[in-house]
A and B are shown apart, each in its own frame.
Chain A
Amino acid sequence: MVFSGLAERLQETFKKLRGKGRLTEEDVDLALKEVRRALISADVNFMVVKDFITRIRERAVGSDVLQSLTPAQQVIKIVRDELAALMGGTQSKINLAPAPPTVIMMVGLHGAGKTTTSAKLANLMRRQGRRPELVAADVYRPAAIKQLQVLGDQLNVPVFSMGDQVSPPDIAKAALEQARREGHDLVIIDTAGRLHIDEDLMGELRNMASIVKPQEILLVVDSMTGQDAVNVAKTFNENLSLTGVVLTKLDGDTRGGAALSVKAVTGCPIKFAGMGEKLDALEVFHPDRMADRILGMGDMLTLIEKAQANFDAEQVEKLNKRIKSMDFTLDDFMEHMNQVKKMGPLDQVLGMIPGLGNMKKMKDLQIDEKDLVFVEAIISSMTPWERQNPQEINGSRRRRVAKGSGTTVQEVNRLLKQFEQTRKMMRQLVGMEKNIKKGKMKNPFGLGKNSPF
């Protein structure tokens, strides 16, 4: 049980309810007990859970749920609505200053991920056409400045630093002046991690805020934080009047209850979510989608957005034409693979597809991106003619390809077989197109146990 996420737990709970035609008040209580247990195990703060359960119970028992023909669905809907409401309702954006530069202060405990998130945010905002500057104001942790500089170099975003002998408020002030001179419209200040109970360091942050007057003070919170998340959020909020929250490390298996707690305590919207180690792995936080995800209803919207951001429209169009014309070759196969790869780590992409969220648990579906490297090597070891005519690759050619790619003939065979299956699936997909339009989409990328992607 320890392994199952909040989504699975709730699903399990409601599976029991789903079988029943009608619910009694005791049934609802039983379900809510499971919801409570799940939420607490998900690290949602205890008081927040209490409040949540009371609200759900009121709605569940008070409304016509008990008389409804589909009571389980009703309960799910209520839980989902309340969950989304608790997390904030709608998505948020960065508040921009009427006269640039916009100033953002990143604050949080040690190890929450402030420096990485600062760099990710700079990257995201630049993609949206801003000219950001990063400010290294963590003068305490060894090599923190260097870390920001390295990340800035990778992104080609300038990093303002004055070494570790100047006080952080002074650094922030000087950075702001320089940003004005050099025409940056966005200044992101990476501050030092601190304990929320450390009065001196809190004072330093308050001081910095009063000097630079930031439009945004974002609290960076590790999504794995336990019950203490409320204390942290509360103290930071009382000291600094936070404007938003960034949740980090959400790509792990944490149930992310801290998200609910922090939101409930501060009232601040959760604006972004850190979803991985790469510098583009910062996503706008969508509370409604997150609620769906927590409840195991998949996250197609994010997937589609990712596909749009990363797919080269022209390439996809070309690919689609080829699929339709049944002219799908190994070259197209590789291109298709690369397009999917661009959307991000595959296990994440899979997790977003409704219904696949659960299957992900199965060991054999654990897709290692290294496998794709082998696939690429094998295809690259073929001649252009072979790639166009995979059915013509005979035994001796297979041996040569295996040698050339450093794999075995068996692996080459497997790939060719998988390719043939994919090709068949593609044909079916073309046939299914009408169904897809009707919303019966089942397996949009041909993902399956034996498929390499």
Chain B
Amino acid sequence: MGLFGKLKESLSKTRKNFVEKIDTIVTGRRHIDEELYEELEEALIQADVGIEGALDLVEKMRTEVKKRRIGEPEELKKLLKEQMLEILGAETSSLNLNGGKPTVIMVVGVNGVGKTTTIGKLAHNLKADGQSVLLGAADTFRAAAIDQLEIWGQRAGINVIKHNEGSDPAAVAYDSLQAAKARNIDVLIVDTAGRLHTRSNLMDELKKIHRVLGREMPGAPQEVLLVLDATTGQNAINQARLFKEAVGVTGVALTKLDGTARGGVVVAIKQVLDVPVKLIGIGEGIGDLRPFNAREFVDALFETENNQQQAG
């Protein structure tokens, strides 16, 4: 099964829920009417796009329908796909790995979104691509977080720079960067403790880590990845906003996309904050972190059962 197949498989739940709903809405209808728009809006809301995002999308569809004189309800599906793609952007945003040596990737997010797991997978991928990787265990708060990162490090054959639990995370970040420089490492990934974005003192701590990295190496961290749980609802927008304000998030890693959770929140985040999704986590295996490709994502989301067999 190719990459596309795996992505489709993991998105199948999302697709079933979402597309089937859209299908039942559009098929068997003769006209595009108010009720139809309302049902589309509801479907989008249920996909976690959010009420503002849903209203916006439906409004755009309305305009297009008028402009293009679309009369067939079936056409609406294609139109919706088009609109979502326009928001997400057809271009792939990949990780910026050419910002210097080492490229520093700082990973942030609220508690329990899968930061450490994402780092484990990302490190594995980068190493498989021939990059030398070092991990910095700057989550010094949560019990056994350092151990968890070390286990991932062992699996991928990558060294981990660590201090004791409870020590200053900025100091860990500092040491990690010094070590990465000394060892001529390509990519340094710094893990941080999960924190609720509303805790101003913890956000200050995060700013300090960011500052220390930038002071020791101009331009670092080149990437600040915000890890988001795909099951999160509208609060994800607040998370993205506050983390962006604090440490200038450069991209989102959307995790746990392998359940029934919809990717809708991605649309909302791109729409409101213009932060691109760069990675998606589609399974529990070490290789199950993929670059995000909007076209594939939307394609997979809208794939009909028929086409799926041909493509898979």
Q: Which A residues form the contact surface with B (CB < 8 A)?
A: 1-3, 37, 40-43, 46, 109-113, 141-144, 146-151, 154, 195-197, 222, 224-229, 231-232, 249, 251-255, 257-258, 277, 366, 368-370
Chain A, residue nearest B146 (CB)? A143
Q: Output the nearest chain A residue to B116 by Cβ-Cβ distance.
A: A142
Residues of B within 8 Å of A228, CB to CB, are 48, 231, 259-262
**Residues from chain A with Cβ under 8 Å of B237 in the complex:** 2
Q: A226 contacts B233, CB within 8 Å?
A: yes
The answer to whether A257 and B233 have CB atoms under 8 Å apart is: yes
- Is there an interface contact between A252 and B46, defined as CB atoms closer than 8 Å? no
Contact B110 A150 (CB under 8 A): no
Q: Is the CB of A146 within 8 A of B144?
A: yes
Q: Would A255 and B260 count as touching, CB distance under 8 A? A: no
Contact A369 B265 (CB under 8 A): no
- Interchain CB contact under 8 A, B111 and A249: yes
Whole-angstrom CA separation of A148 from B142 in the bound complex: 11
Question: Which of chain B's residues have a CB closer than 8 A to the CB of A146?
Answer: 143-144, 147-148
Asked whether, in the complex, the Cβ of B13 is within 8 Å of the Cβ of A197, the reply is: yes
Contacts of A42 in B (CB 8 A): 234
Query: Distance (Å) between the CB of A32 and the closest chain B CB?
Result: 14
Cα–Cα distance between A111 and B110 once the two chains are bound (Å): 10
B residues near A (Cβ < 8 Å) are 13, 42, 45-48, 50-52, 110-114, 141-145, 147-148, 150-152, 165, 196-198, 200-201, 229, 231-238, 241, 256, 258-262, 264-265, 272
> CA of A3 to CA of B264 in the docked complex: distance in angstroms?
19
Task: Pick the 4 closest A-B CB pairs, nearest first.
Answer: A226-B233, A111-B112, A43-B233, A150-B143
A110–B114 touching, CB < 8 Å: yes
Question: Residue B200 contacts which of A110, A231, A366 (CB distance < 8 angstroms)?
Answer: A366
Q: Tell me if B231 and A232 are in contact (CB < 8 A).
A: yes
A46-B42, A111-B114, A228-B259 known; A142 and B148 CB under 8 Å? yes
Q: Would B196 and A252 count as touching, CB distance under 8 A? A: yes
Further pairs besides A228-B48, A369-B201: 18, Cβ < 8 Å: A2-B52, A2-B241, A40-B51, A111-B112, A113-B111, A143-B147, A143-B150, A146-B147, A147-B144, A149-B144, A150-B165, A195-B256, A195-B258, A222-B112, A222-B229, A224-B110, A225-B233, A249-B111
Do residues A249 and B234 form an inter-chain contact, with CB atoms below 8 A? no
User: In whole angstroms, how far apart are the Cα atoms of A249 and B143 in the complex?
Assistant: 17
A151 to B7: give the CA distance in the assembly, Å.
Answer: 37
Closest CB in chain B relative to A61 CB, distance in Å: 21
- CB contacts (< 8 Å) of A144 on chain B: these are 144, 148
Chain A min CB distance to B111 (Å): 6
A141/B148 in contact, CB under 8 A: yes
* B256 CB contact (under 8 Å) in A2, A46, A110, A254: A110
**Are A43 and B142 touching (Cβ within 8 A)?**
no
Q: List 17 A-B contacts (CB under 8 A).
A: A2-B52, A2-B237, A40-B51, A41-B234, A143-B148, A147-B144, A147-B148, A154-B143, A195-B256, A197-B13, A224-B110, A224-B232, A224-B233, A226-B234, A226-B265, A228-B231, A251-B198
Minimum CB–CB distance from A288 to chain B (whole Å) comes to: 24
Whether B233 contacts A368 by the Cβ 8 Å rule is: no
Task: List chain B residues, Cβ under 8 A from A229.
Answer: 231, 233
Q: Which of B47, B114, B234 contacts A43 (CB 8 A)?
A: B234
A254–B196 alpha-carbon span in the complex (Å): 10
Residues B200 and A41 in contact, CB atoms below 8 Å apart:
no
Contacts of B111 in A (CB 8 A): 111, 113, 249, 277
- Closest B residue to A196 by beta carbon equals B259
Total A-B pairs, Cβ < 8 A: 147
CA distance A195 to B165 in the complex (A): 30
Q: Are A252 and B143 in contact (CB under 8 A)?
A: no
Q: Could you say which residues of chain A place their CB within 8 Å of the CB of B51?
A: 37, 40-41
Nearest Cβ in chain A — how far from B99, in angstroms? 30
Q: Which of B52, B201, B232, B235 has the most CB of A within 10 A?
A: B235
Instruction: Decide if A227 touches B46 in the complex (CB within 8 Å).
Output: yes
Contacts of A225 in B (CB 8 A): 231-233
Contact partners of B259 in chain A: CB under 8 A: 109, 195-197, 228, 231-232
A1 CA to B45 CA in the complex, in Å?
Answer: 17
Residue of B nearest to A193 (CB): B112
Residue of A at shortest CB range from B109? A111
Provided the pairs A195-B258, A224-B232, A225-B232 are in contact, do residues A113 and B112 lie with their beta carbons within 8 angstroms? yes
Residues of B within 8 A of A197 (CB): 13, 259-260
Return chain A residues, CB-CB under 8 Å to B110. Answer: 224, 249, 252
Write the chain A residue with the least CB distance to B13: A197
Tell me the smallest distance from the CB of B48 to a CB of chain A, in Å: 4
Q: Which residues of B contact A222 (CB under 8 A)?
A: 112, 229, 231-232
CA distance in complex: A185, B145 (Å):
30
In the complex, residue of chain A having the shortest beta-carbon distance to the beta carbon of B201: A368
Residues of A within 8 A of B148 (CB): 141-144, 146-147
| Shortest Cβ distance from residue B201 to the other chain A in the assembled complex, whole angstroms | 6
Contact between chains at A109 and B231 (CB < 8 Å): yes
**Closest approach, in angstroms, between the C-beta of B241 and any C-beta of chain A?**
7
B122 to chain A, nearest CB (A): 15
Inter-chain CA distance A227–B151, complex, in Å, is 33
A252 to chain B, nearest CB (A): 4
- A373 CA / B165 CA spacing, docked (Å): 22
Q: How far is the CB of A287 from chain B (nearest CB, A)?
A: 20
CB distance from A263 to the nearest CB of B (A): 16
Partner of B232, one of A3, A151, A154, A226: A226
CA distance A146 to B152 in the complex (A): 15
A42 to B259, CA, bound (A): 21
Bound-state CA distance A251–B195 (Å) is: 11
Docked-complex contact A2 and B238, CB < 8 angstroms? yes
For B200, the chain A residues whose CB sits under 8 A away are 366, 368
For A113, the chain B residues whose CB sits under 8 A away are 111-112
Q: Please state if B48 and A249 are interface contacts (CB–CB under 8 Å).
A: no
Question: Bound complex: CA of A376 vs CA of B307, how far in Å?
Answer: 69
Q: Are B229 and A111 in contact (CB under 8 A)?
A: yes
Minimum Cβ distance to chain A for residue B109 (Å): 10
CB neighbours of A37 from chain B (8 A) = 51
For B238, what are the chain A residues with a Cβ–Cβ distance below 8 Å? Answer: 2-3, 253-254
CB distance from B254 to the nearest CB of A (A): 13
- Cα(A149)–Cα(B200), bound, Å: 29
Provide the bound-state CA to CA distance between A42 and B144, in Å.
Answer: 33
Partner of A227, one of B144, B196, B262: B262
Residues of A within 8 A of B201 (CB): 368-370
Q: Tell me the nearest residue of chain B to A108, going by C-beta.
A: B112
Q: Contacts of A40 on B, CB cut-off 8 Å?
A: 45, 50-51
Do A231 and B260 touch (CB < 8 A)? yes
Q: How far is the CA of A231 from the CA of B29 in the complex (A)?
A: 28
Establish whether residues A227 and B147, one from each chain, have CB atoms under 8 Å apart when the complex forms. no
Of B144, B196, B198, the most chain A CB neighbours within 10 A belong to B144
Q: How far is the CA of A71 from the CA of B70 in the complex (A)?
A: 45
